[in-house]
Each structure stands twice: as C-alpha cells, then as structure tokens.
C-alpha cells in the first residue's frame, strides 16, 4: 500500500493505492502556496488518514507535481508553488514525513497512467502528449519513465524548431516568443493560447481556441485555414519525436484533446510524415481522463515499493 498525491497550484488530491486499479481518493485540499510547513501538514494529514484506513504504514509516498526536479541539483522547479520551488523537495519531504518519497512531473505521470491502464496499455514504447495550456509530454519504455531521476526528457514543446512556413499553400508564420525564453517553440504556437495567436496572425480575428475549433468543425473557411497551418506545424515536430523514440502510440491529454476531430486530423497528418507506416491510428485520446496524475503517481509509487521489496 502506498499514498499518492496529485499536486497542483490550486489543489492537492490525495489517495491510498493498493494497485493501479484500486486507488481510493480522499477529499481534495487547497494547496498551501507560501508555507512549506502547512504544505507538509496537508500531506501528513492524508497519510495519517490512509494509515487509519489501511491499518498499516504505507511503503512510500508518490507525488505528481506540476513542475520538474532538476536532475543536476535535485531541486524542484515549481513556479506556481513558491514554498516548494528551489527546495531539495524529495529530501525535505522524506525528512518531514518519515517515509520514502518519489516525485515525477505531472505530464510524466499522465503517460505512466496511459501506459499502465489506459490507451497505451500493452505498448512497449509510449510517448504521451499534452495539448492544452502548454504543449508537453513524457516517455515511458517497458513501463518505466525515462525521467526516473527527474529531468526534461519528453519536453517536445520547447526548442526553436517551429517552421517559418506552413499550410497548403504555404504561408509565412512568425516565430512567437515562448515563456521558456526561446523563440519558435511549438509550445508558443500549438498550445491553446498559441492557436489563438496563430488565428489572430493569419486573419486578424480575436477568438478563443474553443471558438476556433468549433468554427472549424462547422466548415468555417478561416478556421479551417488556421487548423491547416496549426496541424502542419505540430506534426512536423511530432514526426521527429516518433522517429527518434520509436513510439507506437501517442495518447493525448489536455484541453485540446477534448475535440476528437482534432486528434484524428493530427493522427492522419502525422502518419504521412513518419518512417514507420501504421494502418491504424497512433495518435489517440487518453482514456485516464479523470485523475491521470493520481493514477500515474500510484503506478510510480507501487513500482518503487515493489522494487524495494525485492531488494
């Protein structure tokens, strides 16, 4: 038995997990943003409740967190939770909670969930992608995260790789400034806000991503042109990811994944551009849609506990 958490800038979701298919959530709690002692106390209260429920001490604590553990310094990079940002988070929590702690990025936990019990179950190499507020991803091979010690693998949304021309016929596309500090990242043009910037640049219209996608599905010509350029830019970058990793499936999460027609269009365009030819869709909607962070953290923690029992 382990205790797992999905920690975001607004709420902390906790659960006790006996297996990937047996995860029992507790009531979510507000995330203490500026008080590390209060942050620890929130986790400790859930652990105590789990111990009472299970009648025993958990094997470990596993966290899905909206940030990254820097593999060079072991410090947490979590801009939206200041009280943990810059901390040696694993060591600090192990000392405070008295239990082994494992931590992974929320996108990595999403992919673990999909590889373990979701759309990618049975696939050896899984690259999961997030299309929403940002563009992110994670890589799981043989059920294990590439980022087992933290790190930035899977971050295909960042790097100055955006095409200068895209669409049919080609149109010039500016390389937008990204929040990471670079210019020309996929995140800056293919996130939900990026789609809005692209539409405004192409047509001079200010619309939400939801409206653009709704118009596209009704046959609107300006929205169709925007999506033509958007899908061209996105699948250029994603084709390289597939060729480099050898993934055989790409489950998609995030807000934009709620539009099945978009996922299907990305899949069709991508399969035309990659070396290995698939007769079936490989870009697919995620199936762990309710609590992928908790599920991924549970799989991470249960795997850690099993390995340490064996040794």
Structure tokens at 252: 């998609």
- Assess if residue 113 is contained within a domain: no
Q: How many CB atoms lie within 10 A of CB 282?
A: 18
Q: Give CA angle at 76 (25, 92), nearest 5°.
A: 75
- Assess if residue 239 is contained within a domain: yes
Structure tokens at 257: 């994944």
- Assess if residue 44 is contained within a domain: yes
In this structure, the answer to whether residues 172 and 47 fall within a common structural domain is no
What CA–CA distance (Å, rounded) separates 247 from 267?
13
- Assess if residue 90 is contained within a domain: yes
In this structure, the answer to whether residues 75 and 206 fall within a common structural domain is no
- Structural domain count of the chain: 2
Structure tokens at 262: 């978009």
Residue 310: what pLDDT?
67
- Assess if residue 209 is contained within a domain: yes
The percent of the chain in helix, strand and coil, each rounded to the nearest 5, is 40, 20, 40
In this structure, the answer to whether residues 50 and 163 fall within a common structural domain is no
Cross-strand partners of 107: none
Residue 18: what pLDDT?
94
- Average pLDDT over the chain, rounded to whole? 94
DSSP 269: H
In this structure, the answer to whether residues 275 and 153 fall within a common structural domain is yes
pLDDT tens digits, one per residue of 66-103: 889 999 999 999 989 999 999 999 999 999 999 999 99
Give the containing element (helix H, strand E) for 267. helix 260-271
In this structure, the answer to whether residues 276 and 295 fall within a common structural domain is no
Q: How many CB atoms lie within 10 A of CB 28?
A: 14
SS3 76: strand
- Assess if residue 111 is contained within a domain: no
Q: How many CB atoms lie within 10 A of CB 52?
A: 9
- Answer whether residue 309 shows pLDDT above 90: no
- Answer whether residue 295 shows pLDDT above 80: yes
Report the CATH number that the domain containing residue 34 is assigned in CATH: 3.30.420.40
Residue 150: what pLDDT?
83
Cβ-contact 299, 20 below 8 angstroms: yes
In this structure, the answer to whether residues 163 and 225 fall within a common structural domain is yes
Residue 308: what pLDDT?
77
Cβ-contact 147, 155 below 8 angstroms: no
Peptide bond before residue 63 is cis, with ω within 30 degrees of 0 = no
Domain that includes residue 142, residue range: 119-285
What CA–CA distance (Å, rounded) separates 229 from 252?
20
Using only C-alpha atoms, the chain has a radius of gyration, in whole angstroms, of: 20
Structure tokens at 114: 């999909």
What CA–CA distance (Å, rounded) separates 280 from 93?
45
In this structure, the answer to whether residues 173 and 216 fall within a common structural domain is yes
Nearest to 72 by CA among 10, 151, 137: 151
In this structure, the answer to whether residues 145 and 101 fall within a common structural domain is no
Cβ-contact 295, 113 below 8 angstroms: yes
Residue 311: what pLDDT?
61
- Answer whether residue 294 shows pLDDT above 70: yes
In this structure, the answer to whether residues 52 and 142 fall within a common structural domain is no
Confidence of residue 191 (pLDDT cuts 50, 70, 90): very high
Q: Please give the torsion angle defined by the CA atoms of residues 278, 248, 117 and 11, in that order, rounded to the nearest 10 degrees.
A: -110
């Amino acid at each position: 038995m382990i205790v797992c958490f999905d920690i975001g800038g607004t709420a902390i979701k906790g659960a006790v997990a006996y297996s990937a298919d047996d995860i029992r959530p507790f009531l979510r709690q507000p995330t203490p943003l500026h008080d590390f002692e209060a942050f620890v106390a929130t986790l400790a209260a859930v652990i105590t409740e789990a111990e009472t429920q299970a009648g025993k001490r958990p094997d470990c604590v596993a966290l899905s967190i909206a940030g990254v553990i820097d593999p060079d310094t072991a410090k947490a990079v979590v801009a939206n939770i200041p009280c943990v940002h810059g901390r040696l988070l694993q060591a600090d929590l192990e000392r405070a909670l008295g239990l082994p702690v494992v931590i992974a990025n929320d996108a990595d936990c999403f992919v673990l969930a999909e590889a373990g019990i979701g759309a990618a179950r049975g696939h050896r190499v899984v690259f999961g992608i997030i299309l929403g507020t940002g563009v992110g991803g994670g890589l799981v091979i043989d059920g294990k995260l590439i980022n087992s010690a933290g790190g930035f693998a899977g971050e295909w949304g960042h790097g100055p790789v955006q095409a200068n021309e895209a669409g049919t016929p080609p149109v010039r596309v500016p390389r937008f400034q990204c929040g990471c500090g670079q210019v020309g990242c996929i995140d800056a043009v293919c996130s939900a806000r990026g789609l809005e910037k692209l539409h405004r640049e192409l047509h001079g219209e200010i619309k939400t991503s939801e409206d653009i996608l709704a118009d596209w599905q009704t046959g609107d010509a300006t929205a169709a042109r925007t999506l033509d350029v958007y899908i061209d830019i996105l699948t250029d970058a994603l084709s390289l990811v597939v060729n480099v990793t050898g993934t055989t499936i790409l489950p998609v999460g995030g807000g934009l994944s709620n539009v099945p027609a978009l996922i299907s269009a990305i899949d069709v365009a991508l399969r035309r551009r990659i070396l290995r030819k698939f007769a079936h869709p490989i870009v697919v909607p995620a199936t762990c849609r309710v609590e992928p962070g908790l599920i991924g953290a549970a799989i991470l923690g249960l795997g850690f506990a099993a390995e340490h029992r064996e040794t």
